[in-house]
């Protein structure tokens, strides 16, 4: 399976790729961690991608992009949880907070 196929299977919005938010390191982690059946709860893998970024304490630009991606996620509850996590990041500034409020 290619990583692009995996992203579709896990229901990632296409913007993850369009906005270059899947670097090779993350793609390798995702594919290596895949087990048949993960597609039954794909929100866990999407949440893992958000967590991968947040563990790196990204700058405000990346946080704003993650906030936008959280609004696009097919699981609104998970998206809301991710927005709460983003708001507690050290580089969360007023521009990011604005993006956290609305898509």
Q: What is the pLDDT at residue 10?
A: 94
Q: What is the pLDDT at residue 1?
A: 87
Q: Please calculate the CA angle 19-9-62 and round it to the nearest 5 degrees.
A: 25
Q: What is the pLDDT of residues 47-100, one digit of tens each?
A: 999 999 999 999 999 999 999 999 999 999 999 999 999 999 999 999 999 999
d(CA 89, CA 35): 31
- Domain boundary assignment for the chain: 3-101
């Amino acid at each position: 399976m290619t990583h692009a196929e995996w992203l579709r299977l896990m229901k990632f919005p296409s913007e993850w790729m369009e906005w270059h938010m899947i670097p090779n390191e993350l793609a390798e982690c995702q594919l290596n961690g895949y087990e048949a059946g993960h597609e039954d709860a794909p929100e866990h893998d999407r949440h893992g991608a958000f967590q991968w970024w947040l563990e790196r304490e990204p700058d405000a630009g990346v946080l704003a992009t993650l906030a936008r991606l959280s609004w696009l996620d097919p699981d609104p509850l998970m998206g809301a949880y991710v927005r709460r996590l983003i708001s507690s990041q050290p580089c969360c500034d007023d521009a990011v907070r604005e993006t956290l409020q609305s898509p």
